[in-house]
Every structure is written in C-alpha cells, then in structure tokens.
Structure 1
C-alpha cells in the first residue's frame, strides 16, 4: 500500500485547481423565522432543547424545510425517518454531515468515510470489513481496560467538591478506547476533540477554514498510517492497511476515511451518551437513588437514556427531483434523519416525552436504522454501561451545580459539553 498525501483532494478540492469544490459559502446560521420553513440545527435554542421544537413540527408540519445549507428537509415522525433510512434507491449517503459542502458525485459509492458514507453495493463490503472488530466477543475483551480507566479518571478527581462530568470524565473514556483500538498514542486525546469540533460543529466555518481543519485531521491520520506501515502491530489500523476488497488492498482514501469515521463518530457519540446520562442522573435524584440501590436495573435504564437523549442525527442527499410524502424534494437537497425525533414520537412510544428508567419495551433507534445502523453499537453500549457503573459505585451522590451552566454541542451529534456537578459526600 502506498500513501498519497493528495487523496483528500477528492473530498474538498478540484484536483486541477486545488480549490474548494462543492462548497456553498452562504451563512447558514442566524435567527430562525419559522422552524417549519427555516429550520437550523446549529442554533443555540436547538442545542439547548430541540424537543419542544420537534414536537411542534410533528404536530403541524411533519416534514420541515429550510433554504439554508442549499436546501434541506427534516422529517419528525418515526415512520418518515425510518422510510428515508431504509430507502437507498432515492437517498444517497455520500455525505452524512449537513453543511455548506456537498461532495462531488464521483465520490459515490465509497464516499469520504466508508462505510457510513457508502451506498450499495459498495457499502456491504466496506461494512463487512469492520464487523469482526465490533462483535460482542471482541468488545468484551476491552471491558476490563475500560473499567480500569474509568476508575483512574475518578481517582484523579479525588478531593474535589465540584467536577465537570462531561469534560473531566465522559469525553475521555471513548477517546481512550478508540485510540487503543486504532493504535494511536493515548496522549493524543486532546487533539481528537479539536478534530470532532472541526468535522461536526464547524459546518458553518468559512470554506478555507473548514478545508484547513480537515487537512489537519487527515494529515494526522496519514502520519498514523505511515507509522503503522513502518511498524505493523495488532490493531485496527494495521488490519485496515492489510484488508482487501475484491482481491485488492484498500485505497489509502478508504483506510484514512474509515479511521476518521471511527475516531470522530466513535468518540463523540459515546461521549455524548455518557454525558447526557450523567446529566439526567444529576438533575433527577429519584432515578439516581434508584439505580444506586438497584444496580441490576442499569442496563434497562441505559437503553432509556439512549432513547430519550439519542445523540445522533444523520444526513442523506436526495438523488433526483421527486415528490415525497407531500413535499417536493430537489436533487442534492439534504434530508436530516433525526433519530432523536423518531425516539420521541408518541405514535411509537408510550409516554414518549418522559424518561422511564424501567421501560420494558424500548425499540429505540438511537443507533440508527437500515444498512447504516451503527456498526459499533456493542462497543458504545459497553462503554456507556461501564462508565455509569463505575461512576455510580464511586460517586453515588451528586447534583448539578447550576442547571443554567450546562452547555450542549451544536450540530448533528448533540451531547452536553459541560456538566458541572457537586459531589454530595
């Protein structure tokens, strides 16, 4: 395998002019006039609490529209979200981040971050490559190290009356797990947060700044690939370098794109789920006390946290002009698949707007639907369960310092970025 430093040109640059392509430079943030016709998932009120907005839209306009981002749609009912997720004939996954950038059609069917950006039939082969690393058996082998790391993080907080459970605890756990899987230096964790902010929260940056941030991410990944080529070892990066599709080694763009997917999505989604669960327990003493006294209930409660605070919204691109469920979609319009909205649909879930930690029937879609359902769901569940088990064992009594001090990420992965809590003895 050879490493081509220029492979990212296919993602963001014209190979002849070395200029950004597919980038719409219009500003996409700012006050929303009407969420039904001008929605924006980057606004602070959406980040703080999107559910009242979603409930309103579901009641009066189940498929909202916006002219921002070059045009996009937001289904809010479970059945509509599911319909798009399963329909690979009319909706493409070549870009799953709604922004002012649309990758060129030439990137299909692989996309920039396979398999999540891949369309059939390529998607099947790209996903199949990853399955062995994320089976329940493979994930179980990582539980002991994950538990030890959670204890170490809490050890480092010893003696503090106030801590930030999002910044001091939740964000570090998936970063360590993913870096171990990929064979990255554990001390690089702080850099991963910068990459996440560039990819997921920086969608309205000027094109040249976004390109520069993506260049920095892929420069890092290429350096890791070179190091693994020189020093092969038993980790996921070496596995991807050696893997084959159709009897040929993966292209360098495929290897680095998949590494980017695992690094960004594998960290931020789980970080958000852990943080949101601890935020809920900090503000809901009855649920916290019950889980401390009934630890066997945690797996059930964990699924309810995933339903109620599902962090992930994916995007699709419309393949051709069409009339769909009462709206006229244009080719290359965005469609946001809000799994949080689907999980709060009262037509699908009883007491949908309540957090019921002993909910017995809970077919939530926090990990997505269809061919792109999260390949790392077993890993995410293990990390979330272990993080909560260790925290509740070591810190059984804690509460929010100030509810107004809690901040949430904007963009398509919603989770708390700061959750200051008081340790109550």
Structure 2
C-alpha cells in the first residue's frame, strides 16, 4: 500500500461505532455531591468554590448524568487515578452523552491521549521530538513577533477583548505553523474546538456530524501534504512508522485532531485566565511590570491557580475504590484544577502567590498522559505575558460582568474586555 492509498477513503474515527449512549441531562444541580455537572453555568463561572465544598464534605462526588460518573477533588485521589491504567481507561477523555466503544481501546480515536498501554507508549514516543525544549525554542522568535503584531492591531483602542483579539490567536498560529495548515483557517479551528469540547450536550448524531466536519477538513489537509510534502508535523506523521508499518490513517488524523483542538484551547485558556487575573489584581500586575524576570515563576502559579484542563477516564470493571462502588463504564472526571487547590498539597492553596517557589502543580496532568506539549504551552504563555506586559503595562477589567468562561472540560475566558491605560 502506498501513502496515497492509505488516505484514499474517507474513514475517520467519528464514523466508527460510538458505543454506549445515555440521555442528555442538563439543568440545575440539586446537590453537587450527588448530581454534579461540569456543563452548568455556575461551574463555568466559578468551579473552585464548588470543588472546595466537595473536598470538605464529599471528596468523591457522584452524578447520574451522562450515564453515571464520579468527581474526585483531592490531589491524592486525582493522582492515584491518573497513574492507575489497570483500572481506568483513557479511550474516552471527554465526559459527554456517549462513550467510545470498548473496541477502540487501546488506540482510541485521538492517540496518544485516548490510548491505553502498551500502545500509548509508542504513540506518545512518536511525538516527543517535535516538543522538546530545543525544538520549541526555535519557535519563540516567531511567536514573540506574532504577539507584537496582534498588539499593533489594537493601537488606539481604549477597550480590547484580550481573549478574542489576543489569547486565542497565539496558539492558533503556532499550531497551524507546526502542522503546515493555512493560518487563515483560524476561524475554522475555533468552530472545531467548540464542537469537540463545548458541544457535549448535543444529540449524539449531531455531535458525530460536527466531528465529521473536523475530520473531513483534516483529511483534506493530509491529502494536500501527501501531494505536496514539506517539513512539518503533518508530513512527519504521514511518513512515521510503528512496528515497521506506516500509521493507520485514523491514527494520523486523530493525532492531528488532538494537536489542533487540545493544543489551541488549553493554551488560549491559560493566556486568557492569566490576563484576567492580572487585570483584576493590580499589585501582581504592577510587580510583574517592574520585575519581568519574575514572569516564568508567576506563570507557573497562574497555571496552578487557573489550570484550564480537566480530563475524563472510564472505569474498566466493577470495583470498590476508596469507599465508593464504581461500575464498569462509569465516568471519572479527573479535575486537575481541583487537585491544584487542595490545601493538603499546597500552602495557601486558594491564593495566587506569584513568587511561589515550590510549585509541583498538575496543570499539565499526571501519569502517562501528562501533556506532551507542556514545553510549547509554557513558551507560548510566557511570551504572551512578556509581550503584553511590555506593550500594555496598565490595564484593568472594563466590565467584570462581561467576562464569559468556556463550559466543559477546558475552562478559560471566551470574552475578556480589558480597558487599556
């Protein structure tokens, strides 16, 4: 089979069996300990108060929504599950109204984050060369120049939307450049993100259709790379091998989907949340303007305090785990934000201490699925903050009530109006 033959059919993960479906359940939460839902507006607005309450009275909460699931809020429980690949599967990582079919394991639809051992190790290893510190360092100058160009476009404006006009564009450009995708396709990327991460309460058929659009776009880009190879990550994946064979087309498209969707939204959210904090905390903003060398340390604290990512797992078999009876196919909502604010793990856990020296946070995950792109995300966040603080040293929230936050498992500002000066 030639490379061209592999991509001649339009077969995508979204067209395969989707497994267990459950009814769509939305609406007000009666008790977060027994009826939690990460899709409700109060969770998007402020999940930390909810998580703190649960950690004190019901550290492993339960819900019957989405076919049943659990929410651990203590660092030790989150870490234990993240490292336990014997009892918990990663084949579905977005807690929604259906689960990926068991037959998709151990690869999953978006490897390596959806992969279980032993396949996961090999799929992850393929990506490591593109995300080393040295590889990421080569992208810093272009990223910095792009950040400056975004601020140039804001010249003369008294109020800007830092989420839509700044934060979202930075990872979009970086990932597009890495994959060799047209940078002008940014609006499409935003729609793909909304479909994958924020549209989880849609009927399964509609969700499948939307994801089908994502993979149709990816296949178009992959075929263009087959016909016109170049030095980028897409061409690398097309030519990569596992076990002496080239990657399955669904592996190539699934991995690219992961990089495109997760690689953009997580960093976009982290940049936006950091700017939101600095806009509402003048003392921290003024200190970083005066001490720019503190930005890397402050960045880690902002990642801890406003960790954007929550991942999901599926229970493999019926079992009793730390006092609760889990059933096969129960969801586990693995909240790294909750773990990062556990007072048993961090001093002054509910405070943002921008010069915190010991900071082993879980913003990039724990266990075998710890973010492969953490060096890239750190570079983007650091550069975005350095450039913003250099060019816009004085800013505040134009209207605190106008700030909106993404719902679902990646939380960050979607609108962030800032007053300049």
Match of 2:234 among 212, 233, 237: 237
1:3 corresponding residue in structure 2? 7
Distance 1:353 1:29 in 2: 29
Structure 1: which 5+ residue stretches go unaligned?
Answer: 15-20
Alignment pair present for 1:101 and 2:109: no
2:165 corresponding residue in structure 1? 168
Contact 2:88-2:313 at 8 Å conserved across structures? yes
- Deviations, residues 289-324 of structure 1 (Å, cap 9, x unaligned): 000001011111000000000000000000000000
1:72 corresponding residue in structure 2? 69
TM-score by length of 1: 0.97
Over aligned residue pairs, what C-alpha RMSD do you find? 0.9
- Deviations, residues 3-39 of structure 1 (Å, cap 9, x unaligned): 154422x54544xxxxxx4252512221001000000
Alignment pair present for 1:43 and 2:40: yes
Alignment pair present for 1:341 and 2:322: no
2:49 corresponding residue in structure 1? 52
Cα displacement (A) at 1:174: 0.1
1:18 corresponding residue in structure 2? none
Distance 1:271 1:23 in 2: 32
2:414 corresponding residue in structure 1? 417
2:119 corresponding residue in structure 1? 122
- Deviations, residues 265-312 of structure 1 (Å, cap 9, x unaligned): 000000000000000000000100000001011111000000000000
1:150 corresponding residue in structure 2? 147
Contact 2:310-2:333 at 8 Å conserved across structures? yes
Match of 1:310 among 303, 307, 310: 307
SS of the aligned residue for 2:311 comes to: strand
Distance 1:264 1:79 in 2: 29
Cα displacement (A) at 1:257: 0.2
Distance 1:345 1:5 in 2: 48
Counterparts of 1:23-422 in structure 2, within 5 Å, are 24-422=21-419
TM-score by length of 2: 0.98
Structure 2: which 5+ residue stretches go unaligned?
Answer: none
- Deviations, residues 55-109 of structure 1 (Å, cap 9, x unaligned): 0100010000000010100000000000000000000000100001111111111
Distance 2:84 2:20 in 1: 26
Distance 2:14 2:202 in 1: 16
Distance 1:221 1:162 in 2: 36
Distance 1:98 1:188 in 2: 28
Cα displacement (A) at 1:385: 0.2
SS of the aligned residue for 2:193 comes to: helix
Contact 1:408-1:417 at 8 Å conserved across structures? yes
Equivalenced residues, count: 417
Distance 1:180 1:138 in 2: 13
SS of the aligned residue for 2:334 comes to: strand
SS of the aligned residue for 2:387 comes to: helix
Distance 1:133 1:260, change over 3 A: same
Distance 1:5 1:32, change over 3 A: farther
- Deviations, residues 191-221 of structure 1 (Å, cap 9, x unaligned): 0000000000000011221111100000000
